[in-house]
Structure 1
């Protein structure tokens, strides 16, 4: 292959997709950050950026399904170079799951990429495998007799994780959840301004041409089914902000009053912080003190606060939440929120990488980290104040077990059942916690609990 053609192929969407997947797999790179970096550095037009995003996320989301499907045409997958594996995944994904992409375009680029990265022999091999896919399709995972393996391969979720969820919620719910994660996530927004009703905002968005419906989960939430919401004047004016519906439920649990002093101990990037601030009044000295360990993340909170016109009610500090107990006066806060660091399994639809990199030990390690944060902030809460603990994960170790262990170690705290008129009964645990699974409403998975200091 001449250098001119080789250089040209390196800037194609499919070549870039293979490189991104290689970095995610080999170096543990975050797919979302790397995608944004490549889209900007390559100056990709919107159409190409969209295809690149679709391919990368689609391949990650269905990696195990693709590998199983391709296995019938590959003699020894373990001996195959990783970039060849990713090239075959990228190509097969487009041929099977993307209806608007012609096979001949996929096959042509696959062969050229194989030549550029390898040699003519590799190109011939890649062409042979993909011709088989074109003729016969991928090996059918639906014929797998073992239920755990069938769910694992079909939903592309590691078998140990499938077994974990079966042990917690049963096989039927696990299957529903696992396959729901393959559905495209939708954008949801929260009404930041309390001066406008949701009905008024819905009408205005519809008049602007957006396909919108009220959230079935959050009273201040709106689902965007069509249209680029960041272009709406309502978004630009700070009346709306992008936030998943399940996380919109956290701030109201604190039952905030206008003059409260609030601690948001794990605040970045500030979606919940700005929601908390919307209940407060600067003229009545209401304030949220928002903490994060990293300066650049504090910057994100400040940006969000400014855009949503609540900077006068938010004070940010670079501080590890585990050190908060030493940094503030005891019993000085009316409400404390701990949206704790967690395994993030509730975000698997948006961040499919998570499925493959977490392990059971992570749940236990994070449980200990969460307890250290709760221990640190507990002395800062006034008597009668609320401690709201939440995560975006689905594991018992990081949710129920963390709260129960904290309560056992702190007799002055008691669990208060979380209330919501919007959620189904299935979303409440016997203790009064909220546990939302991704398949319940199509949102992120989320856990919310509330404790009061006696």
Structure 2
């Protein structure tokens, strides 16, 4: 595959996110499938890099383009962003970055703009714009205005460190399926293949962190269900839920099933584990994960906010509510999120989370546990959400998950980079 085609596909991926509002998960798989493993990695590195540095790249682009491009030519702006990123942040040679970015115009059917692309990239080099970066801290942060403002409001004391963590490439976490293999035996198998990893990770006893990127399907034990890919923060959920033998468990909003599987791995003697999700296609992914890991759960398509449409009337001992959220805690892993989310989304998400809490609480037995979780780092979705619920429900009591977890400051907020984990929030509630 030509270098020009590779860059054209990068521009196409960026256009799909920034102009069409598609997630990279929607558009990237098809584009990457056309390339070999080395080119796939390069493409991901470049596209993710543009998304992480977009405000700075746009700052430079405004100095190079006299007026924005329109209509079918708009994709060339995204090609220019990719070219500028290569010149400013990558190890691609100057000649290749310019020549092959210009050549991508052919693939994008924008031959008439080759001169413009060449001139912009040459001017970037000639004017040494890389040495003249914006002094605006928001632009330097790589965040959209609305998110930068919310982060500044929520974390005024440690904002710089938080922003660095949110733009740092995350490690690959694995969770060992102790129903199929011991941690020691899995690590021995990794060592035999000279795979670099770490273990003995606090609060995540089944976890392994890989120190290099690998095709996970080629790792030992993949087809035998020895492990799953799951960030360390997400691995805390099953332990905090602490399911016991003969109990009935509900994993609401279960897809893609990582936490469902972990619950079953830790406690195989449940009476029932019901994995519920609104999306039938995503529920199919839960089934695939269960099958590979050789686990069993009851799968049900339904809306957790409307239990009257699916609930059989039998109460649950424990409920895991991994609520829909802004996903601001996993931006380092999915940099497109920052450009797909809007400020107006947050209030709607807060309302949805509150509705789910209200709808699921009656399904819980007296003395039962509800674990509320999000991969958000915004207080409105986390601490403030639980404060409101505790205020409005006299039959709800906080069950602390760490020493500083109090009714006044409920839950545990993990920030991106804490113990190498993604951003996550947990609060555990007991029904009195």
TM-score, normalised to structure 2's length?
A: 0.91
Q: What's the counterpart of residue 50 of structure 1? A: 41
**Is 1:287 aligned to 2:278, yes or no?**
no
Distance 2:111 2:188 in 1: 58
1:361 Cα shift?
2.6
- Return 5+ residue gaps in structure 1 as ranges: 1-7
Q: What's the counterpart of residue 102 of structure 1? A: 93
Distance 2:186 2:89 in 1: 36
Q: What's the counterpart of residue 431 of structure 1? A: 409
Change (3 A) 1:191 1:143: same
1:370 Cα shift?
1.0
1:348 Cα shift?
0.7
Q: What's the counterpart of residue 230 of structure 2? A: 243
Q: What's the counterpart of residue 151 of structure 2? A: 165
- Return 5+ residue gaps in structure 2 as ranges: none
**Is 1:210 aligned to 2:198, yes or no?**
no
On the 8 A contact 1:388/1:450 being kept in 2, the answer is yes
Q: What's the counterpart of residue 32 of structure 1? A: 25
**Is 1:411 aligned to 2:398, yes or no?**
no
On the 8 A contact 2:5/2:104 being kept in 1, the answer is no
On the 8 A contact 2:415/2:424 being kept in 1, the answer is yes
On the 8 A contact 1:68/1:141 being kept in 2, the answer is no
Distance 1:371 1:46 in 2: 43
Q: Map of 1:40-119 to 2, 5 A cutoff?
A: 40=33, 42=34, 44-77=35-68, 81-99=73-91, 101-114=92-105, 117-119=109-111
Distance 2:216 2:2 in 1: 34
Q: Map of 1:388-403 to 2, 5 A cutoff?
A: 388-403=371-386
Q: What's the counterpart of residue 4 of structure 1? A: none
Distance 1:137 1:286 in 2: 66
Give the count of matched residue pairs. 428
1:432 Cα shift?
4.3
Change (3 A) 1:219 1:142: farther
Q: What's the counterpart of residue 329 of structure 2? A: 346
Q: Helix, strand or coil for the counterpart of 2:222?
A: helix
Q: What's the counterpart of residue 165 of structure 2? A: 180
1:418 Cα shift?
0.9
1:129 Cα shift?
1.6
1:94-138: per-residue Cα shift (whole Å, max 9, x none)?
Answer: 222221x22222211222233563344x32222122113334443
1:376 Cα shift?
1.3
Distance 1:217 1:82 in 2: 48
Structure with a larger share of its residues in helix:
1
Change (3 A) 1:141 1:335: farther
Distance 1:91 1:166 in 2: 31
Distance 1:29 1:79 in 2: 19
1:217 Cα shift?
4.9
Change (3 A) 1:196 1:390: same
On the 8 A contact 1:141/1:154 being kept in 2, the answer is no
Q: What's the counterpart of residue 131 of structure 1? A: 122
**Is 1:273 aligned to 2:256, yes or no?**
no
TM-score, normalised to structure 1's length?
A: 0.87
On the 8 A contact 1:280/1:286 being kept in 2, the answer is no
1:279 Cα shift?
2.7
**Is 1:261 aligned to 2:248, yes or no?**
yes
1:200 Cα shift?
4.2
Distance 1:130 1:380 in 2: 60
Distance 1:138 1:202 in 2: 47
Distance 1:406 1:429 in 2: 11
1:300 Cα shift?
0.7
1:419 Cα shift?
3.8
1:322-352: per-residue Cα shift (whole Å, max 9, x none)?
Answer: 1225533556211011000111111111211
On the 8 A contact 1:331/1:383 being kept in 2, the answer is no
1:226-261: per-residue Cα shift (whole Å, max 9, x none)?
Answer: 244431223332121100110000111112112111
Q: What's the counterpart of residue 206 of structure 2? A: 220
1:256-283: per-residue Cα shift (whole Å, max 9, x none)?
Answer: 112111001110000000001113335x
Match of 1:364 among 318, 338, 347: 347
Q: What's the counterpart of residue 443 of structure 1? A: 421
Q: Which has the higher contact order (CA 8 A, sep 6+)?
A: 2
Match of 1:302 among 287, 302, 309: 287
Change (3 A) 1:224 1:173: same
Q: What's the counterpart of residue 17 of structure 1? A: 10
Change (3 A) 1:143 1:299: closer
Q: Helix, strand or coil for the counterpart of 1:233?
A: coil
